[in-house]
Amino acid sequence: MTLLIGSIQLGLLYAILALGIYITFRILNLPDLTVDGSFSLGMACAAVATISGHPFLALFIAILAGALAGLTTGLLHTRLSIHPILAGILVMTGLYTVNLAFMGGKANLSVVGSDTVFSLIESISWAPGEMGITLLALSICIIIIAILAVFFKTRVGLAVRATGDNEDMVRSSSINANVTKCIGLSMGNAAVALSGALICQYQMFSDVGSGSGMVIIGLASVIIGETIFGRRSVTIGLVAAAFGSIMYRIIVAFALKIDMFPPYALKLISAVIVIIALSGPAIKAIIQQNKIRREVNSHLINK
């Protein structure tokens, strides 16, 4: 039960990361690799602000920093015509030094002994302990999903969605696709940085290398959610991404618990999950083709 509760808590916190990945990869249709750097950026900003005694302000600072990181990637892509993958890699690489600078040149920064949003809410909540932490993580996740769901039904949100669906049509409609791309990238990385900030306060430390592999984790969550819910509306897609994050954490936790894999195999497990999920439609199509071929051959033989 402790393992399950811990997996749900981490799943809810990483669900915000999955929402950011969903915005860039699914809605905007851009392969954004800034995520690894913006996640660590959120952790670094949160650690410094939390140690200074501002745990709630730390979350807003992380959101702003993540949005600026996404905006930088967007400007490199739209203004300097750099490929989005390369632009994301460049920003991610640069953020490594930025994160170290925020943490005073230290690779790790502990916030043990400082108040966090979890400790403060737990002290005043009617549901103390693990239940209070779980409810707080669930509440934050629901609020973010609601905000994004409402935004993507507004005029600007619809323009961002249209840019991901058909950029040429958007440009022909006198909508500045460069602006909508920057908005989408900023929102996605803001959500990723917020996830990093919450994880920092949850685990009570910030690590400059913690963002490595976050793209894979986010993709795994999105794909698992889409496998369960299917690809329908944006609102369902956001809920599916969050649910997929919880399922992903539960799968990984139990895979490590039964000693099938060593603890350092976490990223390998993540990669395998993504490969299986991505290859699912292709495998299904091959099985369907083989079934049709056997039926045709059987029909010819009977003739």
pLDDT at 125: 60
* CA distance linking residue 149 with residue 63, whole number of Å: 18
pLDDT at 60: 96
* CA distance linking residue 291 with residue 268, whole number of Å: 33
Q: Which of 6, 1, 2, 32 has the alpha carbon at shortest distance from 222?
A: 32
pLDDT at 40: 95
pTM: 0.90
* Sequence ranges of the domains in the chain: 2-267
pLDDT at 4: 83
Give the residue ranges of DSSP H helices in 22-54: 35-51
Q: Name residue, tokens 């991610």.
A: 92
Per-residue pLDDT of the chain (303 residues; tens, 9 = 90+): 677 888 899 999 999 999 999 999 999 998 889 999 999 999 999 999 999 999 999 999 999 999 999 999 999 999 999 999 999 999 999 999 999 999 988 989 999 988 899 888 777 766 566 788 888 899 999 999 999 999 999 999 999 999 998 888 888 888 899 999 999 999 999 999 999 999 999 999 999 988 888 888 888 889 888 888 878 889 999 999 999 999 988 888 887 777 767 777 777 777 787 787 777 778 878 888 888 888 877 777 766
Q: Domain 2-267 belongs to what topology? A: ABC transporter involved in vitamin B12 uptake, BtuC (1.10.3470)
